[in-house]
């Protein structure tokens, strides 16, 4: 197992890669020193700070940061749908669309695909009362869902947890066909979802603002999608018509700014995750998957 908490396995190349972390020194201070943790718990994880951060980076003067950021973070500019110079602010660039023809969607109806570009860990069986440590986050089904009926339904079910960094494509899509219900918002804090913390686990699965959408699918049963806000993510935007049929890889919504996370929950015996994802997860390693790639079969 690789001990570097910022390392992941790139599925396409099979190589272990270390993420370039934007403002890592400051964030590590926030999560690994006593004054930093106090500042984080009392102020930085508040909704106000993330909204203020988002407001600042929506201003026109921040567009000067785009080119340097894109170069430092190795953003693939060939995926852009318009010139880099056309973005009106740094925040607009972070929430950018991409040319979706660059993503090859597995169209086999028996395959569930990744809803995002992000780092995934999978768990074939979870208990509603047990607590898992996923990277630096503590996960508990009951506290995540805040819904006893749903928690019972996913008893011994399966979980896929995706994390996005600041440079990633910030939109999320549906993992399979089905009928999507009205999203439900759970208010909360805005802790970082990246593994900055060494000394303690971060309760972002239970404490952060998140949105839950139940997707009734033919092949995979009842799937619950949970988008989790994070430090500097001022809003989670939804872009679909609730209670209507949706298709695999259809656009669902986006995170406005910053790193963030997404969880997929499956009922018991409804999905068999791909072998490489299972092997990497057992070793404690995330795998970088791209929108449209297979994560498992029904």
Q: What is the mean pLDDT of each run of 10 residues along the chain (298 residues)?
A: 71 80 72 80 78 84 91 88 92 91 90 95 84 73 87 91 89 96 88 70 78 94 92 80 94 85 94 95 91 94
Chain centre distance of CA 285: 16
For the CA atoms of 198, 203, 208, 212, the dihedral, rounded to the nearest 10 degrees, stands at 120
**Known catalytic residue: 117?**
yes
Q: Which of 173, 194, 197, 217 is catalytic?
A: 173
Q: Which two tokens stand for residue 48?
A: 């106000």
Domain annotation covers residue 256: yes
Domain annotation covers residue 39: no
At 253 the pLDDT is 94
210-217/184-186 β-pairing: antiparallel
At 195 the pLDDT is 66
Q: Which of 158, 194, 197, 260 is catalytic?
A: 260
What is the rounded distance in angstroms from the CA atom of residue 212 to the CA atom of residue 229? 12
Domain annotation covers residue 209: yes
**Known catalytic residue: 173?**
yes
At 175 the pLDDT is 97
Number of domains within the chain: 1
At 209 the pLDDT is 87
Domain annotation covers residue 87: no
For the CA atoms of 151, 272, 116, 204, the dihedral, rounded to the nearest 10 degrees, stands at 30
Domain annotation covers residue 280: yes
At 3 the pLDDT is 59
At 293 the pLDDT is 96
Backbone phi and psi for residue 161, each to the nearest 5 degrees, phi listed first: -115, 125
Domain residue limits at 237: 103-297
């Amino acid at each position: 197992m690789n001990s570097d908490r910022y390392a992941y396995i790139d599925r396409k190349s099979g190589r272990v890669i270390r993420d370039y972390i934007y403002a890592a020194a400051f964030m590590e201070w926030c999560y690994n020193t006593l004054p930093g943790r106090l500042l984080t718990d009392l102020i930085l994880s508040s909704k106000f700070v993330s909204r203020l951060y988002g407001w600042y980076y929506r201003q026109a003067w921040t567009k000067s940061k785009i080119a340097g950021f894109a170069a430092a973070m190795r953003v693939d500019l060939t995926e852009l749908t318009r010139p880099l110079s056309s973005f009106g602010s740094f925040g607009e660039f972070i929430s950018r669309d991409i040319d979706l023809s660059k993503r090859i969607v597995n169209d086999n109806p028996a395959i569930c695909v990744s809803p995002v570009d992000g780092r995934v860990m999978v768990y074939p069986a979870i208990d509603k009362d047990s607590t898992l440590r996923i990277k630096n986050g503590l996960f508990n089904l009951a506290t995540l869902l805040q819904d006893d009926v749903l928690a019972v339904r996913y008893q011994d079910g399966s979980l896929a947890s995706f994390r996005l960094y600041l440079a990633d494509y910030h939109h999320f899509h549906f993992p399979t066909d089905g009928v999507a219900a009205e999203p439900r918002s759970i208010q909360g804090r805005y802790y970082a979802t990246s593994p900055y913390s060494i000394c303690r686990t971060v309760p972002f699965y239970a404490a952060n603002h998140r949105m839950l959408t139940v997707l009734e699918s033919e092949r995979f049963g009842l799937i619950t999608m949970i988008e989790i806000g994070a430090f500097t993510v001022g809003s989670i935007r939804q872009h679909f018509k609730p209670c209507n049929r949706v298709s695999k890889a259809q656009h669902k919504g986006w995170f406005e700014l910053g790193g963030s996370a997404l969880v997929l929950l499956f009922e018991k015996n409804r999905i068999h995750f791909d072998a490489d994802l299972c092997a990497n997860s057992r070793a404690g390693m995330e795998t970088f998957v791209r929108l449209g790639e297979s994560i498992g079969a029904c």
